[in-house]
Amino acid sequence: MLSKEEQLLQSYFGYETFRPGQKETIDQIINLNNTLAVMPTGGGKSICYQIPGLSMNGTAIIISPLISLMKDQVDALNSYGIPATYINSSLTQAEQQSRLHDIGKSRYKFVYVAPERFESSFFVNTIKRIPIALVAFDEAHCISQWGHDFRPSYRSIVSNLKQFSNIPVFVALTATATEEVISDIQQLLRIEHVINTGFARENLAFHVIKGRDKTSYLRSFLAEHEEESGIIYTATRKQADSLFEQLTRRGISVAKYHAGMTEIERKEAQSSFIHDETTVMIATNAFGMGIDKSNVRYVIHYAMPMNIESYYQEAGRAGRDGEPSDCILLFSPQDVQLQKFLIEQSMMDDSSKQNEYRKLQEMINYCHTHGCLQSFILDYFDDKNAEAGCGRCSNCVQRQNKTDITEEAQKILSCVKRMDERYGVTMTAKVLKGSNDKKVKQFGLDKLSTYGIMSAYTEKELIEHIHFLIAEKLVATEEGRYPTLRLNQQSVEVLKGKRQVEMFTAPIPTTEEADFYEDLFSELRALRKQIADEKNVPPYVLFSDATLKELSRYFPV
């Protein structure tokens, strides 16, 4: 025997079985328990309130910050024969009046509204006097100031709604919720039941790419994925504009989306992407909230975003259809400076800024960890279902090349100690290198016993090592704009030789190897010149020096 809910699932939506968490959420709601459902993007949150809405008396009100999504949801429900409507600022005054009139007559099972709607007393008075089935908060993390997309108007309606006597149950839904956000939502909406299916997306492969020229990486990636649909996120509008121009100039067909464009331009870009007329979308984070395009095969971040919440939400727009998809982050140290600048520029108070710096540090750690990237994200969200390693991410795949760097780690940590735990990454690297930097001398750091103890390394390699130690929590950083390095319990274990440290990078080349690559590089350049002369084109048109250098690395010594 099918339950009533399963019957509704099949007869209205045509699906055979519930996905994880759906049934439990639906049961709680039907039993009139306020409920929060935390499920990954594409997990099927809509059905969690749509099925109770169908089986309960009265109208279900869904509050959603996404005007773009309301119409799609309503169209979908109408196509299943379910009476549904939405009210938002995209409608004429007359149309709003007429819909509101029908709502007052209880003609709809589902009504989608933006939070601002509750500022209208006409609307509020209408829904106060009709039977309500439930009130659902979609994208509920917007309620919480700990969330990455806080909307004050969203929060303020909660107290407003609590005065209604005709709301039997509240539902909150989100894909992104840290413990802080979850408990904030719980408190605000008096929710006792949280259904959390975990965040893992088995079809996504995460990659962090460092030390590459971003544009040339993109060009070759796009050439290999011509037929596939993907999103490239930039950190700023300016970056989006310039990348759009660069790629367009090279004859690559791309669309662009950011808040600096007119509404018409944005609509056009979005529609051509959704309908697969343009396969690549270059966008800021203004793009994507509530866009339900299932066949996005990759999401590339051209620059590191501000925190893991935003990253996972944006990257999670890949592969909603469950097919294997890639999430690639192109990291450069400048990204960190840009994000710090954005935090400094923001209107936040000091303690909120501090909180943003803390989150930013976790994002930086993600870029430097050598552990499984998927597990890193799941740990961040305190997801207890986290598996040991996904086997798909760039770190899991590269894991073969392990190098023991315990001795290096000990040198770095003793240097941090000698520097009285008062300096940051760059200065520590300079001291280890034995740099002639003015500041090093000025602070008397060249007198330390650890000055120059790792002079065989470049400063860049040393910085990379230190970031790795931070990411692995083998050394701590003071939060803030200029974080200083501090020893922690794990550092002490490493220093005492009680803990081994392994890094997954290729070993640093010996002098002999370096000579070999240098020679190979010159030979490749000569070859390039020869071909270029034959074709009568300048050599750099064929390959850049950077590409040749990288190519030469593929040859065994």
Cβ 335 vs Cβ 308: under 8 Å? no
* 53 lines the binding site for ligand ADP (CB under 6 A): no
- The residue among 305 and 319 lying less far from ligand ADP, judged by its C-beta, is 319
Nearest distance in Å: CB 192, ligand ADP: 22
Give the torsion through C-alpha atoms of 437, 442, 445, 446, to 10 deg: 60
Nearest distance in Å: CB 257, Mg ion: 19
Which residue number has the CB closest to ligand ADP? Answer: 44
- The residue among 14 and 251 lying less far from ligand ADP, judged by its C-beta, is 14
Instruction: State how far the alpha carbon of 539 is from the alpha carbons of 279, 408, 525, 544, in Å.
Output: 31, 41, 9, 8
The DSSP bridge partners found for residue 110 are 60, 84
Task: Please give the Cα distance from 331 to 338 (Å, whole number).
Answer: 12
Note the Cα 526 to chain centre separation in Å: 43
Nearest distance in Å: CB 67, ligand ADP: 16
Alpha-helical regions (H) of 275-421:
308-315, 333-345, 350-368, 373-380, 394-398, 406-418
Among 43, 288, 319, 371, the residue binding ligand ADP under the rule CB under 6 A is: 43
- The residue among 19 and 107 lying less far from ligand ADP, judged by its C-beta, is 19
* Of 38, 255, 56, 237, the residue nearest 137 (C-alpha): 38
- The residue among 317 and 528 lying less far from ligand ADP, judged by its C-beta, is 317
Applying CB under 6 A, which part among 15-23, 211-219, 237-245, 530-538 lies near ligand ADP? 15-23
Task: Please give the Cα distance from 260 to 234 (Å, whole number).
Answer: 14
- The residue among 45 and 117 lying less far from Mg ion, judged by its C-beta, is 45
- The residue among 76 and 527 lying less far from ligand ADP, judged by its C-beta, is 76
Among 5, 26, 38, 44, the residue binding ligand ADP under the rule CB under 6 A is: 44
Task: Please give the Cα distance from 519 to 79 (Å, whole number).
Answer: 67
Exposure string over 189-198, b if 16+ CB within 10 A, otherwise e: bebebbbbbb
Q: 16-35 mask for ligand ADP (x: CB under 6 A)?
A: --xx--x-------------
Among 8, 25, 36, 45, the residue binding ligand ADP under the rule CB under 6 A is: 45
| Residues near 460 by beta carbon (within 8 Å), at least 6 away in sequence | none
- The residue among 173 and 280 lying less far from ligand ADP, judged by its C-beta, is 173
- The residue among 40 and 305 lying less far from Mg ion, judged by its C-beta, is 40
Please give the single-letter amino acid code of residue 492: V
> Where do we find the tokens 């930097």?
437
| Residues near 339 by beta carbon (within 8 Å), at least 6 away in sequence | 235, 304, 305, 306, 360, 363
Nearest distance in Å: CB 171, Mg ion: 12
Nearest distance in Å: CB 264, ligand ADP: 26
Nearest distance in Å: CB 242, ligand ADP: 32
Nearest distance in Å: CB 44, ligand ADP: 3
Burial of 546 (0-12, 13-18, 19+ CB in 10 A): exposed
Please give the single-letter amino acid code of residue 298: Y
Applying CB under 6 A, which part among 43-51, 163-171, 351-359, 511-519 lies near ligand ADP? 43-51
Reported as half-sphere exposure (CB side, CA atoms, 13 A), residue 402 has a value of 9
Nearest distance in Å: CB 14, ligand ADP: 9
Applying CB under 6 A, which part among 40-48, 108-116, 362-370, 510-518 lies near ligand ADP? 40-48
* 292 lines the binding site for ligand ADP (CB under 6 A): yes
* 42 lines the binding site for ligand ADP (CB under 6 A): yes
| Residues near 255 by beta carbon (within 8 Å), at least 6 away in sequence | 269, 270, 272, 273, 278, 280, 281, 282
Applying CB under 6 A, which part among 44-52, 212-220, 340-348, 540-548 lies near ligand ADP? 44-52
Nearest distance in Å: CB 421, Mg ion: 46
Among 3, 4, 7, 15, the residue binding ligand ADP under the rule CB under 6 A is: 15
- Point out which residues bind Mg ion (CB under 5 A): 45
| Residues near 276 by beta carbon (within 8 Å), at least 6 away in sequence | 229, 295
Residues near ligand ADP (CB under 6 A): 15, 18-19, 22, 39, 41-47, 292
